[in-house]
Structure formats: C-alpha cells, structure tokens
Amino acid sequence: MFFIFSLGSIQTVKAFQKMASNNGEDNQTTSSPSADAALALVSYFYSAAAFGVSLFATSTIFYRFTGSIFNPSVSLALYLIGAIKPIRFILVSAAQMAGSLVAFAILTGPSPIELDVNVQFQNGTSRTKGVFIEAFSTAGLILSVLMLAVVPFKKHLFTPFAPMGFALTLFIIVLYSSPFTGGAVKAFQIITGSIVRTPAAVLFRAPLLIESDSLGLGPTLGSLLATGAYVFLKAVHYW
C-alpha cells in the first residue's frame, strides 16, 4: 500500500514532466515543464490538501459522538465486521446521501462560480483501470479507519488521534487518484454530483450511467477488500 500511493503519485509527476517536455520540443521552446503541467500538479496537490484538511476538521469534531462515519464504503465495512447494526447502517447511509445532496446544493446556490467537481475517468484511464484505482484507494482509507478506530484497537495509543490518520491517508489517496479518476473514493459523491448538476434527461444517458457505475463499483470493491484484510488479521491475532 505504501508503494502504491507513493510511487503512484511520483508516476503522475513524471508523466506530466514528460508531457511538458515533449510539448516544449514540439514547439521549439524549452524542455522544462510547461506552465500548464505545473498548474495541473499544483491543482492535484491543492485538491488533496483540501480533502485531507476537511476530513481532519470534521472528523475531529464528530469523532467522539458518531465515529465520523462520512463515507458509505466505510459504513459498509463497519457493518460487515459487525461494528454497527443493520438499522444504524441504513440510517447512516441515508444521512450520508442526504448530506451529500445538501452540500452540493449549497455549493451550487450561493457560489458565483459554476460547480465543477464531478469525478470522471481522465488522462487516458480506462474503466477497468479506474475501477481498480478506486478500489485500492478506498481500501487504504477504510483500513486506516478499521486499524485505528475499531474495537480491537480501542487501546491503541494513536486512537485519540485517529482523525489525523484518516486525514493523512485521504490526502495521499486523493493525491494519487485525482489525475486518473478525480479521487472519488466515495460512491455518493458521484451520484449526488450528477443529480444536482445534471438535468434528468442528461443524467440517464447511457455513457454517463456506465461511467458512474464503474466509478461507484471501485469504492465498493475497496470496502470488501479492506474488510477481508481486517478479518484475516483478526483471525491470525495480528495484534
């Protein structure tokens, strides 16, 4: 996991440097990274920092009261390992969906800037590769939750600071996945973003549905992958 996210992020930087170098040679200007490539990399870093700091701030507030379950994939993993009951899983998932809708609606209303935060495959990422990128990214985030905040680790020394672990994990995950999938990690972000921004006639077009389904599948697979890893570690008494 360490190599996936660290080397994956470096791979993105190298790819943009190469692209800028090729563009510079074609234009007979310079072989150094162009302003566009540099801006793209800074944008990815800014987005990752926004996700990480936002999660740290909100999870710090709600961690001791609700467990800071903001992601349906995390809810699914907690339900599968028995940390939350079926009714709570349903209620929390409904609250997450409603919260996503309200957040997107608020951003769409008062803001003078058009909302453009939808996730999609980009930079030549195929659906298959995008699904696996999202799966591994989501698995990393969920493992941080399971290993830092769930019952067997109740006496873990870092447990009181778990929100910091969540935030740093999300930061590197979004930094890695943003250039390829937009850093979804959260299936509801895909659905609610399309609902708020896209009219019904456009929302149900086949290409958009296929891409949304593919991006939504990744976080679900990641949840199952993280759950399997956690159950295995618990079975062999890793801690």
Residues 109-137 pLDDT 10s: 777 777 666 677 777 888 888 888 888 98
CATH superfamily membership of 2-24+35-235:
Glycerol uptake facilitator protein. (1.20.1080.10)
Least Cα distance to 56 among 185, 142, 163 occurs for 163
Please report, for the chain, the start and end positions of each structural domain, with discontinuous segments joined by +.
2-24+35-235
- DSSP letter for 112, please: S
- Is residue 199 predicted with pLDDT exceeding 80? no
The helix/strand count (H/E) of the chain reads as 9, 0
Scan for tokens 């793209």, then name that residue.
40
The CB density around residue 17, as the number of other CB atoms within 10 Å, is 17
Q: Are 152 and 186 in contact (CB under 8 A)?
A: no
- Is residue 201 predicted with pLDDT exceeding 50? no
User: How far apart are the C-alpha atoms of 158 and 141, rounded to whole Å?
Assistant: 16
The structure's pTM equals: 0.78
The pLDDT assigned to 193 comes to 53
